[in-house]
């Protein structure tokens, strides 16, 4: 699928930059460069943006309090988190500043808290503070017995991982970037002045290549002659609990991290559910996204200790995501002027939060290496449909329903998604390619019945065979989708 106006091999001029991978990192880079008048082609093998690791994570907007001070991750996460917080507010991306409590459950972990607070300070999080046992149980009365104390990290927040890349891509398209979906990169031919990116749907010519291919970034790197790193997929399994579990906690409940993982946490989601996870298990297969009996058992044991009431609540879904880990703990971001190539890899556990910081850094490094940026102020972001639980959604907005009754016609009753929202998504500048894409844009099929009651109606609306109302205007008329 080409969206919009992608001409690929038929282009008479090469693009300035081809970005391989339309996850949260690639879309962030595309929007940042395109807003500076850089001609960009964003390429992804999947049928939509944000379908890789980006759609299956813990959805926390991290402050970076626990990163390695002085690392690139620490710097870009701190910066990216601040940029995204501001961007989200303007773009209508759901964010809730719940804060986090990092809880010590034994004497050894209690002894580690001052060092973690010191590290947080060195990472610029100066508002982290100790919380005694009494205050901890007052704030989180459903916590399991045995907690000895905690650190409060007030800035930790929850965010919508689906709207974020959609907002970036929508903005990139609006300022002229081209998006090639269902387009797998299979090779790269490098000449003196341009690259020819060979894909499953033709050749894309460009001056620079940005490799943001996540789990496959080492494969793309080798296409450009690199062999500096190997991706080791690290699976994280999660359980999603029903909205009825939401009152069980106020903040994100974190464990004391180990050298290998941040550990199993309990967190609210911006859709009003509760998440338990993730596990951390190295797997051989980059497509191994199935949940396992062992993983879910481990999570239930951890959940029972942290929040005993949680494990008797109803489970809505479970899923797994794969972290793109490398032997190096830090991000692997390098710009090679001679090869006209930027490698943006090893964005393991924090890429959603750091995405705008990474994009800003990559753009700066590319400019240093000779890519021309316009140097102009950024345009306002697009205003995305709001799908969070904390704000007002269309079904509860009397004025909106009065203006258009389609916003009063609920199709998905679990998530209270209206026909108006579904029709808006289908007419949007970046429409969904399937029901999963529609789910990420509206929350439809995402509730406790997982589509049992509304799937047929939703599928008919999606296919255009249902009782569809008159066509609605796209939110940004300048961008249209082309057929594949
Ligand atoms: C369990 C888990 C929990 C996490 N929790 C958080 C969290 O709470 N907060 C946070 O900030 N981060 C979190 N992360 C990390 C975050 O999800 C990732 O860092 C981020 O999504 C990486 O984005 P990306 O764009 O680099 O990769 P991806 O989203 O994987 O995108 C890469 C894209 O490249 C495309 N691609 C690959 N090869 C090719 C090819 N040959 N041709 C064309 N396209 C190709 C893929 O289709 C894919 O869409 C978590 C990760 C996991 C797994």
- Going across the sheet that includes 60-61, the strands are 60-61, 157-159, 95-96
C-alpha distance from residue 117 to each of 112, 128, 325 (Å): 9, 6, 26
Ligand 1 and 211: CB distance under 6 A? no
Ligand 1 and 59: CB distance under 6 A? yes
Q: Spell out the per-residue pLDDT of the chain, length 484, in tens.
A: 555 444 343 456 899 999 999 999 999 999 999 999 999 999 999 999 999 999 999 999 999 999 999 999 999 999 999 999 999 999 999 999 999 999 999 999 999 999 999 999 999 999 999 999 999 999 999 999 999 999 999 999 999 999 999 999 999 999 999 999 999 999 999 999 999 999 999 999 999 999 999 999 999 999 999 988 999 999 999 999 999 999 999 999 999 988 777 899 999 999 999 999 999 999 999 999 999 999 999 999 999 999 999 999 999 999 999 999 999 989 999 999 999 999 999 999 999 999 999 999 999 999 999 999 999 999 999 999 999 999 999 999 999 999 999 999 999 999 999 999 999 999 999 999 999 999 999 999 999 998 888 999 999 999 987 655 555 554 433 332 332 2
pLDDT for residue 467: 58
Beta carbons within 8 Å of 125's beta carbon, 6+ residues apart: 63, 64, 65, 153, 155
For 250-406, strand residue ranges (E) read 252-255, 265-268, 274-277, 281-282, 315-325, 332-336, 341-345
R_g of the chain, CA atoms, integer Å: 22
pLDDT for residue 454: 92
Q: Which atom of ligand 1 is nearest to the CA of 51?
A: 49
Distance 54 CA to ligand 1 centre (A): 4
- CA-nearest residue for atom 14, ligand 1, is 349
Q: Which two tokens stand for residue 311?
A: 């494990």
- CA-nearest residue for atom 10, ligand 1, is 350
Distance 26 CA to ligand 1 centre (A): 9
Q: What is the pTM of this model?
A: 0.95
Identify the helix (H) or strand (E) that includes residue 41.
strand 40-43
Ligand 1 and 358: CB distance under 6 A? no
pLDDT for residue 310: 97
CA distance 333 to 17: 16
pLDDT for residue 13: 87
CA distance 15 to 180: 13
CA distance 66 to 256: 10
- C-beta atoms surrounding 397 within 10 Å: 16
Ligand 1 and 62: CB distance under 6 A? yes
pLDDT for residue 11: 56
CA distance 250 to 101: 10
DSSP state of 73: H
CA distance 333 to 345: 6
Q: Which atom of ligand 1 is nearest to the CA of 348?
A: 19
Distance 466 CA to ligand 1 centre (A): 35
Closest CA to 326 of 427, 218, 243: 218
Angle between helices 163-174 and 72-91 (to 10 degrees): 80
- CA-nearest residue for atom 25, ligand 1, is 23
Distance 313 CA to ligand 1 centre (A): 30
Provide φ and ψ at 373, rounded to 5°: -110, 145
Ligand 1 and 185: CB distance under 6 A? yes
Q: Which atom of ligand 1 is nearest to the CA of 24?
A: 25
pLDDT for residue 7: 38
**Which of the listed residues 22, 52, 333 should we mutate to test ligand 1's pocket, taking the one with most ligand atoms within 8 A of CB?**
52
Q: 358's torsion region: left (phi>0), alpha (psi -120 to 50) or beta?
A: alpha
CA distance 123 to 470: 53
């Amino acid at each position: 699928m080409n969206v919009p106006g992608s001409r690929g091999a038929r282009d008479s001029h090469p693009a300035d930059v081809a970005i391989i991978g339309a996850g949260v990192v690639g879309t962030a880079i595309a929007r940042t460069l395109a807003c500076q008048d850089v001609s960009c082609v964003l390429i992804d093998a999947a049928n939509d943006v944000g379908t890789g690791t980006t759609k299956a994570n813990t959805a926390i907007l991290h402050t970076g309090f626990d990163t390695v001070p002085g690392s690139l991750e620490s710097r870009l996460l701190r910066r990216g988190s601040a940029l995204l917080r501001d961007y989200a507010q303007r773009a209508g991306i759901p964010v809730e500043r719940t804060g986090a409590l990092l809880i010590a459950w034994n004497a050894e972990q209690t002894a580690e808290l001052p060092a973690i607070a010191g590290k947080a300070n060195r990472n610029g999080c100066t508002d982290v503070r100790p919380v005694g046992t009494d205050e901890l149980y007052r704030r989180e009365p459903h916590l399991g017995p045995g907690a000895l104390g905690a650190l409060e990290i007030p800035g930790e927040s929850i965010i919508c991982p689906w709207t974020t890349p959609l907002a970036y891509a929508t903005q990139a398209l609006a300022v002229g970037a081209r998006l090639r979906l269902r387009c797998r990169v299979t090779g790269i031919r490098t000449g003196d002045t341009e690259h020819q990116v060979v894909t499953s749907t033709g050749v894309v010519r460009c001056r620079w290549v940005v490799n943001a291919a996540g789990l496959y970034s080492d494969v793309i790197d080798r296409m450009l002659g690199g062999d500096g790193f190997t991706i080791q997929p690290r699976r994280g399994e999660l359980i999603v609990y029903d909205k009825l579990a939401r009152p069980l906690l106020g903040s994100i409940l974190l464990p004391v991290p180990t050298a290998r993982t941040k550990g199993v946490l309990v967190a609210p989601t911006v859709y009003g559910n509760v998440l338990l996870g993730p596990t951390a298990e190295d797997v051989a297969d980059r497509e191994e996204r199935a949940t396992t009996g062992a993983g879910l058992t481990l999570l239930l044991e951890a959940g029972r200790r942290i929040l005993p009431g949680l494990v008797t609540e109803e489970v809505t879904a479970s899923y797994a995501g794969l972290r793109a880990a490398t032997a190096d703990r830090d991000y692997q971001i390098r710009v090679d002027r001679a090869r006209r190539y930027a490698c943006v890899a090893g964005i393991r556990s924090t890429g959603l939060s750091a995405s705008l910081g990474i994009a800003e850094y990559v753009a700066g490094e590319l400019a240093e290496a000779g890519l021309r940026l316009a140097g102009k102020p950024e345009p306002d972001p697009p205003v995305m449909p709001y799908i969070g639980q904390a704000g007002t959604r269309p079904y509860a907005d009397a004025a909106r329903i009065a203006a258009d009754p389609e916003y009063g016609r609920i199709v998905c009753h679990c998530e209270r998604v209206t026909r108006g929202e579904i029709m808006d998504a289908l007419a949007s500048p970046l429409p969904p390619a399937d029901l999963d894409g529609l789910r990420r844009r509206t929350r439809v099929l995402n509730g406790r019945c997982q589509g049992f009651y509304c799937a047929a109606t939703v599928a008919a609306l999606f296919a255009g065979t249902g009782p569809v109302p008159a066509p609605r205007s796209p939110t940004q008329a300048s961008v249209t989708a082309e057929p594949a």
